[in-house]
Structure 1
Amino acid sequence: MDIKLASQYSINNREQIEVSEKAGCYYCLSIFAPKKICEYCDWGATVLCPKCGIDSVIGSNSGYPIDLETLKKLHQYWF
């Protein structure tokens, strides 16, 4: 798992997240169902976290595991 490449899945990611089983925010470390997402930025192309509102959301369809361990690694690197 290349942590440096993960952020590419948190931009313009609406379609990728909509086909994912679950999603997670590597800012607030929340894990949630994609159907919980109701806010977007970048003209509707980028998902915002339903808990904290930050655009640091990746979906399971990205190839990264959506679990607390992975989200913590991403958070540590990116924040």
Structure 2
Amino acid sequence: MKFDLRAAHRHATSNREAIGASNVCGCFYCCLSYPAANVSRFLAEEHTALCPECTIDSVIGDVSGLPVADREFLVAMHDVWFAGIEIPELDSESSAPQSSGLNRSSEAAFDRLDRRFIP
């Protein structure tokens, strides 16, 4: 199944209700998945979820129908929306971003994924 990565982004904004209805969420900045119950912070004006791991507003809930627990999907989203920015490696004790040394181009990511996802 192919997913339109640009259209998928709309699920990352004004998503408080969707996150509340989800079981699992994924962040396409840090590329981690976690229980939706872990999401407790939202941007006040637009009701957009902040990732409990990296605090970036790039969270999508599984109620969207997107494969938010699939790291390859999250990496593909990261490559489209944060091109040129390394995926942070989070320190499990402090959740402080650490450099992972990863820096993928969108084209390479899509080749690796057999074009399962489209930009």
For residue 67 of structure 2, the aligned residue among 59, 65, 68 is 65
Structure 1, gaps ≥5 residues long: none
Alignment of 1:38-77 (within 5 A): 38-43=40-45, 45-66=47-68, 67-77=70-80
Structure 2: gaps of 5 or more residues: 83-119
TM-score using structure 2 length? 0.63
After TM superposition, the runs of 4+ consecutive aligned structure 1 residues lying more than 2 A away are none
Q: TM-score, with normalisation over the residues of structure 1?
A: 0.94
Max radius of gyration: which structure? 2
How many angstroms does 1:14 deviate by? 0.7
Q: Alignment length, in residue pairs?
A: 79
Q: Which protein has the bigger strand share?
A: 2
Which is helix-richer, 1 or 2? 1
Question: Hey, what's the Cα distance between the residues in 1 that align with 2:27 and 2:56?
Answer: 8
Question: Does 1 or 2 have the higher relative contact order (CA < 8 Å, sep 6+)?
Answer: 1
